[in-house]
Amino acid sequence: MQHSIKIGTRGSPLALAQANDVKARLIAAHDDLNADNVHIVEIKTTGDRILDRHLMNAGGKGLFTKEIEDALLAREIDCAVHSSKDMPTSLPDGLILSTFLEREDPRDVFMSAKYASFADLPEGATLGTASLRRRAMALRVRPDLKVVTFRGNVQTRMRKLADGEADGTFLALAGLNRLGMPEAATEVLSLADFLPAPAQGAVTVEIREDDAEMAARLDPLHCAKTAVAVIAERSFLSALDGSCRTPIAAYASLSGESLMMHAMLLSLDGKTVFDQTGTCAASLDAAAILGQDMGAAIRGDAGEAFFEALASDIEAEIA
């Protein structure tokens, strides 16, 4: 087996924390690996370079993965560490998501330099978010809010809040936990009120499909329970052709030998919500089918006219 491993990642503090976690786990799992032969390779992606406009104007989710996947296919790196929620549902030929780490807390948090909770925001307050899901979820209960595009890593968004660019924003609790700064959250939002993005809180490792050695290296890091849940959520996303252009939420959890998933599709203003729950056996095949079936059910309930109207609303919003 190879005795030097290159781990590709974005260069943000959160991405580096996740990649270094994978590095530490690999070293702990294999006696022949150490800090000298497992290397972190930072790769700047198109999504990292675009800070002045909405990502949907430039191509969407794949902007955070393309350059890293190109390096993986070119054998410049041996594996790539990603936040699962950033991954497109369709991967380049020859690449697979082989490994899911144990899932972190999937909930969203509200952050503000002025207000103690989301409910405390005054009428007409400015909410900063680039997520259509978070926008729709917020407007569903607070249609009075003004929503502005808010991008950047955790530290950038905290600075923007301090500078008064918005009265509040949302972040994933998992990211704050991995950065060792959970106290930065003003309020942790309940799953019942704010259903997360599909695969939120789950770190995944991508490898070349034919790299049996890397797959074997990563096998001790894999969490089967996380994989089952994330497969269900990503299957639901795929059934709706979901991307960052669609306000979609989903969360699957295991109880014994069963998997339960709650999933939603929303209009951009949050006024229209299509909601499904479903259960299946806790297996990868059953989870994939559950996601497909729930996605098909919601697509049928919504009808193509809804998707056409949603696309029109989003184009107008990001124009």
82: closest CA among 176, 238, 205?
205
Q: What is the pTM of this model?
A: 0.92
- Cα distances (Å, whole numbers) of residue 296 to 233, 263, 292: 13, 12, 6
The domains located in the chain, with CATH, are 1-104+202-222 (3.40.190.10), 108-188 (3.40.190.10), 223-319 (3.30.160.40)
Tens of pLDDT, residues 140-186: 999 999 999 887 788 888 899 999 999 999 999 999 999 999 999 99
Facing residues of 187 across strands?
110
Query: Which residue type, as a one-letter code, is found at position 93?
Result: D
Specify the range with the lowest mean pLDDT, choosing from 2-16, 99-113, 260-274: 2-16
Average pLDDT estimate for 209-214? 97
Catalytic residue list contains 301: no
Q: Number of helices (H) and strands (E), helices first, in the chain?
A: 9, 13
| Distance from C-alpha of 99 to C-alpha of 33, rounded to nearest angstrom | 18
| Distance from C-alpha of 129 to C-alpha of 138, rounded to nearest angstrom | 10
| Distance from C-alpha of 248 to C-alpha of 263, rounded to nearest angstrom | 8
Confidence at 45, pLDDT banded by 50, 70, 90: confident
Of 78, 86, 167, 211, which one is the catalytic site residue?
Answer: 86
What pLDDT is attached to residue 165? 93
What pLDDT is attached to residue 58? 47
Tens of pLDDT, residues 4-35: 999 999 999 999 999 999 999 999 999 999 99
| Distance from C-alpha of 298 to C-alpha of 226, rounded to nearest angstrom | 24
Comparing 117 with 52, the larger pLDDT belongs to 117
What pLDDT is attached to residue 63? 73
* pLDDT, the chain, mean: 92
What pLDDT is attached to residue 156? 87
Average pLDDT estimate for 293-308? 94
SS3 (DSSP) at 239? helix
